[in-house]
Amino acid sequence: MHAIKVARKFIQQQSDSDDSKTLARLVLALELEADFPISDIYKLDFKNFELALKILAEWRLDRYASGKVRLFDLSLQMAELYPRA
């Protein structure tokens, strides 16, 4: 399963967890070409840290455009639900 799809499912199922919020913010930063504090990735548990790295690799390849759109939409919803303090 591709990391983008895994991330989308994780964010949907664990929307209130800190890790899902971090992954959603990472996706927003990638799509909007905005800054993202790399130290936030290190705060993820190891499984989600690896997921974040896979997302970065897939994003760079830009091979999964339709999955990115759905994940970006979900991440945007997360940003509205959980604005950064």
DSSP letters spanning 16-79: TSHHHHHHHHHHHHHHHT----THHHHTS-HHHHHHHHHHHHHHHHT--HHHHHHHHHHHHHHH
Average pLDDT, stretch 25-31?
92
pTM over 0.85: no
pLDDT category, 47, cuts 50, 70, 90?
Answer: very high
Residues of the domain holding 77:
3-81
How far, CA to CA in Å, does 8 sit from each of 1, 2, 4, 26, 48?
A: 11, 10, 6, 12, 12
Domain count within the chain:
1
